[in-house]
Amino acid sequence: MATSIVITSGKGGTGKTSLTGGVASCLAALGHRVLCIDMDIGLRNLDLSLGLSDRALMDFTDVLEGRCSLERAAVAHPVIRGLYLLTAPILLPVRPLSGQAMAQLVRQAKEDFDFVLMDSPAGLGEGFQLAVCAADRAVVVCTTDASALRDAQRTVALLRGRISRIHLVVNRVQPRLLKRLHTTIDDAMDTAGLPLLGVVPEDPQVMLCANRGEPLILAASRGAAVAYLNIAKRLLGQRSPLMKLK
């Protein structure tokens, strides 16, 4: 059965977009059809992480408002078979977007794709609400700093009662910094109040690949690339050990 997943965080800078692109790339590389939807209206960046910035011409509002079909708007990746992107509009729409219409779009997408990953914008505003209304599962992304963990708590409070399966990814982890802060991944789990889906280390290759317009898994075989693959396997129900961060 196809699954729609919203990837969200309470604040910006947690690496949510990179995680969305990385996990989606891995799911596709494992043989699944994956549609990424960038929900960050006016501030879209998922196309950069996927290396599709010159290819994504139509956006999800074009589909919602009947200007083109989902099949035409979803852009296929030229290298990673089964990976597609439906981008966000550059400008804010004139009329408010309908959550019911968005949910219908995602239901339609689930007829053709195994996974629909929605990259929710930072914050808990309209874009967040639009993404959540169409999701079966949620992944809350946070870092280990106190402000990110507090915002993660707020996000979880809004998700509970609306989505039953919510997991945590602790991103951009720096083990030396954790030691200096006298904190652990378990502390982050306790603060967010969520089961752990994965731990991703701070990795300069993530930014380098985004700047080059190249998916991380095509350029790296360790660090964050391994963490993304492990998370993808867990979403598929497979057992995969957590990375040992040094």
Is residue 15 annotated as involved in ligand binding? yes
SS3 14: coil
Is residue 66 annotated as involved in ligand binding? no
Distance between the two ends of the chain, CA-based, in angstroms? Answer: 37
Whose CA is closest to 234, among 81, 30, 80, 83? 30
Distance CA 208, CA 69 (A): 34
Is residue 16 annotated as involved in ligand binding? yes
Is residue 18 annotated as involved in ligand binding? yes
Is residue 4 annotated as involved in ligand binding? no
Is residue 17 annotated as involved in ligand binding? yes
Distance CA 236, CA 220 (A): 22
Is residue 22 annotated as involved in ligand binding? no
Whose CA is closest to 182, among 155, 144, 148? 144
Is residue 3 annotated as involved in ligand binding? no
**Cα distances (angstroms) measured from residue 72 to each of 55, 82, 140:** 12, 15, 30
- Annotation: binding site for ATP: 11-18
